[in-house]
Amino acid sequence: MSDPWKECMDHCLEVTKKAGEMIREALQKDIAVMQKSSPVDLVTETDQKVEQLIISSIKEKYPTHSFIGEESVAAGAPSVLTDDPTWIIDPIDGTTNFVHRFPFVSISIGFTVKKEIEFGIVYSCIEDKMYTARKGKGAFCNGVPIKVSGQEDISQSLVLTEMGFKKDPEIFKTMLANIKAILTIPVHGIRSPGSAAVNMCLVACGSADAYYHMGIHCWDMAGGAAVVTEAGGVIMDISGGAFDLMSRRLIVASSRAIAERIAKEITEFNVGRDDKDD
């Protein structure tokens, strides 16, 4: 039986490569930075140009498809996942890294049909690593198959998360307490590369054993979720329940044992949902 979405994925790969070139070129020039909602929520002209390039190229070929893009949503477009074929796009995942030229900057694209992720692409463009995954067909980095580490012992694990300033002092306190809770299990260490999509791919290829995060968005998660799942990883909600793409939170891990232990150790805080106005 033919694969109905292979052509979509092939087209997406070509567009992603072009977008990666645009980002690498922009890194050679002065970067004009604007703020979104706070001094730590940054956006650049390149974010907007890259998203425009990706969406216009895909829309031309697939005019009936839907889109959820970080910059489009910031400009007022809805963030609602329907049964339609939908492209979920983060043009620059790791904008703060991009601004500082810290080398983990990625383009993340997930493609869903009937709310299920059919394929994902994450291009870590400074490293020139193209992570790809198609449902039921495995995960790859630059065409080479990748697998999670398979680690089951959290005390032997390297864990990823992201930390940053939170306006709400209680949320800030909980975020720091969660980091302490994980470190004192103890684990081998915690790292914060600065790009959610790259973090998921680092778990997918076995360089890290887990990643947890509250407060990210569907466009941060969709591409990496496909990659980590196809690499044999586990993805779940922070509560230990089923992963929900619109929930703004997740745990990914090399094994269920590690994911469940992290769910048990950390305290949740409210981050809202992508498909609801808070």
Which residues are catalytically annotated?
70, 90, 92-93, 95, 220
- Residue 153 is assigned to a ligand binding site: no
**Residues near 100 by beta carbon (within 8 Å), at least 6 away in sequence:** none
Residue 207: how many CB atoms within 10 A of its CB?
Answer: 16
- Residue 274 is assigned to a ligand binding site: no
- Residue 237 is assigned to a ligand binding site: no
Helix 6-26 crosses helix 45-61 at what angle (to 10 degrees)? Answer: 160
- Residue 209 is assigned to a ligand binding site: no
Which phi and psi angles does 191 have, rounded to 5°? -125, 150
Per the annotation, binding residues for Mg(2+) are: 70, 90, 92-93, 220
